[in-house]
Chains A and B, each alone.
Chain A
Amino acid sequence: MSAVVGQGTPVVKDPGAKDKVETPFRRFASEFMESRLALGGLVVISIIILLAILAPFISPQDPYDLAVLDIMDGRMEPGSLSGDGSITYWLGTDDQGRDMLSGILYGLRISLTVGAGSAFIACMVGASLGLAAAYAGGRTDSIIMRIVDLQLSFPSILVALMILAFLGKSITNVVIAIVVVEWAYYARTVRGTALVERRREYIEAAECLALPRYRILFRHLLPNCLPPLIVIGTMQVARAIALEATLSFLGLGVPITEPSLGLLIANGYEYMLSGKYWISFYPGIALLVTIVAINLVGDQLRDVLNPRLQK
């Protein structure tokens, strides 16, 4: 991989360049837009983020307030009217009489916060260690990369389960568990890119100027490692969301009175055989759409940002 990347920075391929000033961002944006699918994914993600932010204002019910739930409204079919006639459960209710639509909107908040938050923290940790490994080399490099290898050799769900069993269950601990599981991916990616960039002339130049090490690392090396980091970051957000859902499904994430998408699916799972499909089905769809949309965007980002795939 490094050999190919080494062929040079992306050059403007189109000889008949338009009169417009072509900034890197504009070029990036136009290349990204080439895929309708990715554009659709971006639109879907924007809508989902908007829905999640606005959830307290647009949900018919506060699904986390026990006082407004009524057990007598439990497991109602989609489209049913609540017992007191105040709201229509468009997507039905779960076993506690929680409006599924509200539950999903609030669940998306948790999923996105945990997903983006843990991916961001994992990125900070992983990228720093990856840069350090590449720049320092030698023993530091071996130690960090052997830890990465060790980390990646364990199934991530197993590691997360062990961490949560040890720390106890809470949303913060879920974030910690996901960070511990995922930082290694960032570290490895950043190290790979940084090893190549490190031998470039501009780093040598920076070193000749006797700039402090942290400045070289973060102001010179890191910005040039960003493209692969962005790609892997997007993918890892999706992965983190899926992992949070899995942990919640197994009963290790959020408290039962504040369900995330994974816990909503778990709540309905037992009723599947009885034909009450909607309790698991709709949160499942929401989860699926979110993850697919993020992955579509991530795929296109990779195509655009990877010089090897430049047309």
Chain B
Amino acid sequence: MRDSIRMAAAAAVSAAAMAGALGASPAAAQQVLNMGVGSPVTSLDPHYHQLSPNNAVSDMIFDKLVGTDAAARNIPGLATEWRAVGPTTWEFKLRPGVKFHNGNDFTAEDVVFTIQRLPNVPNSPSSYAAYARPIVRMEIVDPLTIRFHTAAPYPLMPMDMTNVRILDATTHANAATEDFNAGRVAIGTGPWRVLSHRSGDRIEFERNPNFWGEAPAFQRVNYRMVTNDATRTASLLSGDLDFIDQVPTSDLARLRRDQNMRLSETVGLRLIFLGLDHLRAENENSPFITDHEGKPLGRNPLRDVRVRRALSMAIDRKAIAERVMEGAATPSGQFLPPGTFSHVPDVQAPAYNPDMARRLLAEAGYPNGFRITLAGPNDRYINDSRIIQAVGQMWTRIGVRTAVEAQTWSTFVGRAGRQEFSSFLIGWGSNPDGSHPLRNILATVSRERGWGASNRGRFSNAEVDSLLTQALVELDEPKREQLLIRAQRIAAEQVAVIPLHIQTNIWAMRRGLTHTPRVDELTRAQDVRPAAQ
């Protein structure tokens, strides 16, 4: 019976593939690219909402002073070179001869206008203002040279500029977010021009013939938002779409077998990890931890580093990566993957060792373990609710009886932010620079400094804080990297969080296309090209 089902499935697939091949002649295929993305784009205003899907589309329409390559290393964009000309001054040389889609010239005036606009976008759900804040003064040296003056040495200036899409001072002088969304002023210097935009449904692009960089490979692009996983895969298989992102892991095995499909994948920058309650003191109760009879413990076991290590060691990360994630994840012991700036080379993914975990628990005074609830979202990260169930199994096996509570993201994230949980699963998409996770997740929470914005477990370590303080004003890159590595190593030794794995970003396309996979998850039409014959 199984064989007949398999045969029927194979027949259906080949029929779909043939239909796809007949429907799109090779010449037409070069003309239009139908892309399906899993997350909706919320706005075409490049300074409205910091969100990967929005940034991907902004990258198609606009350009930044500093671009990033597929591995998230800085490359020249609208600036051809940049350097710190003084301890508090960065100079950017701008690319000559660049024109906006409407023919206006790109000059230093546009950069000034853009930086000034960042903090002034009304109702922004996640603002870009932070990138303008370090700049106290802008100086136009000549139309193609601009200097940013900062109050203190600021090594992150080039990286900040990889997040800022440049607008036209004349076209966008009074443009509101709605004008961008309507397509009227969705005008940049990028490789694609917007033809039409239906919010939450699709965006149509055409090639910008005057683009300063490598010419796009397709005449037109239909950028469709297909949020249902099964529909997205089915549309690709039926030939309705040529290219999809966020391939569901449950469909991976099948797409890998399919002769007419190609996958493109790379280790990403998003770490999935478990946050732990560091807020309650040693002699306080953590909200979701009790003894086996359900009575409060009178202490917070998570404040003991041996307990944290035991919980981390009890997790078989390889099993999760292989069985739950279908191989679309790499076990990790830190935020950044190998090969990125400030990756800690000597911190590996903690090895699975349940016996050692039980010993550590006994040493810490919990020979019989305790009871805990592990919370997590069920609609945010790839297989999120499945991962917490698997971790629940593994913790229960070392004596820490785990109840699992999965809920929708909006409820979950609010509760996590109010420190309502004892342990919870969450993810973090990093910039390829250790200062980013350090500042947001591992640093002691401080509103004045803007630290610990996502430190939901309230981890706090003076040494980490002091190393980070030094790194944030260090202009010498090798020295800065060492500071960041030392800080991250301490966080790993102290098990500030329990890292699980770094997600693999996966795209799928029909045969005949190639794609340059990006660690930053962005799905952009300029990264797709016809395959060499």
* Whole-angstrom CA separation of A274 from B230 in the bound complex: 11
Asked whether B404 is an interface residue with its Cβ less than 8 Å from the other chain, the reply is yes
Asked whether A142 is an interface residue with its Cβ less than 8 Å from the other chain, the reply is no
The residue that A257 contacts in the complex, of B254, B389, B394, with Cβ under 8 A, is B389
Asked whether B385 is an interface residue with its Cβ less than 8 Å from the other chain, the reply is yes
The residue that A273 contacts in the complex, of B233, B323, B401, B403, with Cβ under 8 A, is B233
Minimum CB–CB distance for A151 against chain B, Å: 27
* Whole-angstrom CA separation of A97 from B2 in the bound complex: 20
Asked whether A32 is an interface residue with its Cβ less than 8 Å from the other chain, the reply is no
A273/B230 in contact, CB under 8 A: yes
Which A residues between 255 and 273 are near B, CB-CB below 8 angstroms?
A: 255-257, 270-271, 273
* Whole-angstrom CA separation of A66 from B392 in the bound complex: 7
Of B128-136, B192-200, B245-253, the one with at least 4 CB within 8 A of chain A: B245-253
Asked whether B319 is an interface residue with its Cβ less than 8 Å from the other chain, the reply is yes
B323 contacts across to A, CB distance below 8 A: 71-72, 74-75
User: Closest chain A residue to B403 by CB distance?
Assistant: A257
B250/A270 in contact, CB under 8 A: yes
Known: A66-B402, A270-B250. A95 touches B386 (CB 8 A): yes
User: Closest chain B residue to A251 by CB distance?
Assistant: B378
B319/A274 in contact, CB under 8 A: no
Asked whether A96 is an interface residue with its Cβ less than 8 Å from the other chain, the reply is yes
Known: A255-B404, A275-B254. A66 touches B230 (CB 8 A): no
Size class of the contact patch on chain B: 20 to 34
B406/A256 in contact, CB under 8 A: yes
A34 contacts across to B, CB distance below 8 A: none
Per-residue CB contact flags for chain A residues 65-81 toward chain B (1 = under 8 Å, else 0) read: 01101111011010000
Asked whether A277 is an interface residue with its Cβ less than 8 Å from the other chain, the reply is yes
A274 contacts across to B, CB distance below 8 A: 250-251, 253-254
* Whole-angstrom CA separation of A75 from B250 in the bound complex: 11
Asked whether B234 is an interface residue with its Cβ less than 8 Å from the other chain, the reply is yes
Which B residues between 373 and 414 are near A, CB-CB below 8 angstroms?
A: 378, 385-386, 389-390, 392-394, 396-397, 401-406
* Whole-angstrom CA separation of A72 from B319 in the bound complex: 7
* Whole-angstrom CA separation of A270 from B251 in the bound complex: 8
Asked whether B295 is an interface residue with its Cβ less than 8 Å from the other chain, the reply is no
B393/A71 in contact, CB under 8 A: yes
B320 contacts across to A, CB distance below 8 A: 71
B378/A95 in contact, CB under 8 A: no
B396 contacts across to A, CB distance below 8 A: 66-67
Interface of A is mostly: loop
B389/A96 in contact, CB under 8 A: yes
A69 contacts across to B, CB distance below 8 A: 393
A257/B404 in contact, CB under 8 A: yes
Which B residues between 308 and 326 are near A, CB-CB below 8 angstroms?
A: 316, 319-320, 323-324
Which A residues between 72 and 120 are near B, CB-CB below 8 angstroms?
A: 72, 74-75, 77, 95-97
Asked whether B9 is an interface residue with its Cβ less than 8 Å from the other chain, the reply is yes
Asked whether B527 is an interface residue with its Cβ less than 8 Å from the other chain, the reply is no
* Whole-angstrom CA separation of A90 from B339 in the bound complex: 46
Minimum CB–CB distance for A170 against chain B, Å: 11
Minimum CB–CB distance for A49 against chain B, Å: 29
Minimum CB–CB distance for A85 against chain B, Å: 18
A96 contacts across to B, CB distance below 8 A: 386, 389-390, 393
B324/A256 in contact, CB under 8 A: no
A271 contacts across to B, CB distance below 8 A: 250
* Whole-angstrom CA separation of A71 from B233 in the bound complex: 26
Asked whether B229 is an interface residue with its Cβ less than 8 Å from the other chain, the reply is yes
Minimum CB–CB distance for B3 against chain A, Å: 11
Asked whether B5 is an interface residue with its Cβ less than 8 Å from the other chain, the reply is yes
Minimum CB–CB distance for A114 against chain B, Å: 20
User: Closest chain A residue to B2 by CB distance?
Assistant: A77
Which A residues between 261 and 296 are near B, CB-CB below 8 angstroms?
A: 270-271, 273-275, 277
* Whole-angstrom CA separation of A95 from B254 in the bound complex: 16
B230/A256 in contact, CB under 8 A: no
B447 contacts across to A, CB distance below 8 A: none
B234 contacts across to A, CB distance below 8 A: 273
Which B residues between 252 and 298 are near A, CB-CB below 8 angstroms?
A: 253-254
Asked whether B449 is an interface residue with its Cβ less than 8 Å from the other chain, the reply is no
User: Closest chain B residue to A278 by CB distance?
Assistant: B2
* Whole-angstrom CA separation of A257 from B230 in the bound complex: 24
A70 contacts across to B, CB distance below 8 A: 393
Asked whether B6 is an interface residue with its Cβ less than 8 Å from the other chain, the reply is yes
The residue that A256 contacts in the complex, of B2, B251, B389, B394, with Cβ under 8 A, is B389
A66 contacts across to B, CB distance below 8 A: 389, 392-393, 396, 401-402, 404
The residue that B5 contacts in the complex, of A71, A95, A275, with Cβ under 8 A, is A275
A71 contacts across to B, CB distance below 8 A: 316, 319-320, 323-324, 390, 393-394
B230/A270 in contact, CB under 8 A: yes
B9/A275 in contact, CB under 8 A: yes
B233 contacts across to A, CB distance below 8 A: 273
* Whole-angstrom CA separation of A257 from B2 in the bound complex: 29
B397 contacts across to A, CB distance below 8 A: 67
* Whole-angstrom CA separation of A277 from B5 in the bound complex: 10
B319 contacts across to A, CB distance below 8 A: 71-72
B316 contacts across to A, CB distance below 8 A: 71
* Whole-angstrom CA separation of A174 from B255 in the bound complex: 38
User: Closest chain A residue to B385 by CB distance?
Assistant: A256
* Whole-angstrom CA separation of A270 from B247 in the bound complex: 12
Minimum CB–CB distance for A176 against chain B, Å: 19
A277 contacts across to B, CB distance below 8 A: 5
* Whole-angstrom CA separation of A255 from B251 in the bound complex: 25
User: Closest chain B residue to A169 by CB distance?
Assistant: B407
Minimum CB–CB distance for B315 against chain A, Å: 11
* Whole-angstrom CA separation of A235 from B490 in the bound complex: 63
* Whole-angstrom CA separation of A275 from B9 in the bound complex: 8
* Whole-angstrom CA separation of A270 from B385 in the bound complex: 14
Per-residue CB contact flags for chain A residues 186-214 toward chain B (1 = under 8 Å, else 0) read: 00000000000000000000000000000
Known: A72-B323, A96-B393, A257-B389. A275 touches B6 (CB 8 A): yes
* Whole-angstrom CA separation of A66 from B386 in the bound complex: 12
Minimum CB–CB distance for B350 against chain A, Å: 17
Per-residue CB contact flags for chain B residues 215-253 toward chain A (1 = under 8 Å, else 0) read: 000000000000001100110000000000000101101
User: Closest chain A residue to B398 by CB distance?
Assistant: A67
A95/B393 in contact, CB under 8 A: no
The residue that B393 contacts in the complex, of A67, A255, A270, with Cβ under 8 A, is A67
Per-residue CB contact flags for chain B residues 1-45 toward chain A (1 = under 8 Å, else 0) read: 010011001000000000000000000000000000000000000
Known: A67-B393, A67-B397, A256-B406. A74 touches B324 (CB 8 A): yes
Minimum CB–CB distance for A130 against chain B, Å: 38
* Whole-angstrom CA separation of A127 from B510 in the bound complex: 60
A256/B404 in contact, CB under 8 A: yes
* Whole-angstrom CA separation of A282 from B253 in the bound complex: 22
Minimum CB–CB distance for A42 against chain B, Å: 30
* Whole-angstrom CA separation of A277 from B447 in the bound complex: 51
Which A residues between 34 and 75 are near B, CB-CB below 8 angstroms?
A: 66-67, 69-72, 74-75
B5/A257 in contact, CB under 8 A: no
Sample of 11 further A-B pairs with CB below 8 A, known A71-B390, A255-B404, A255-B406:
A66-B389, A67-B396, A69-B393, A71-B320, A71-B393, A95-B386, A256-B385, A256-B389, A273-B251, A274-B250, A274-B254
6 contacts between A and B (CB under 8 A): A66-B396, A71-B316, A71-B319, A71-B394, A256-B404, A256-B406
Please give me the 8 A-B residue pairs with the lowest Cβ-Cβ distance, nearest first: A67-B396, A270-B250, A66-B396, A71-B390, A66-B393, A66-B392, A274-B254, A74-B323
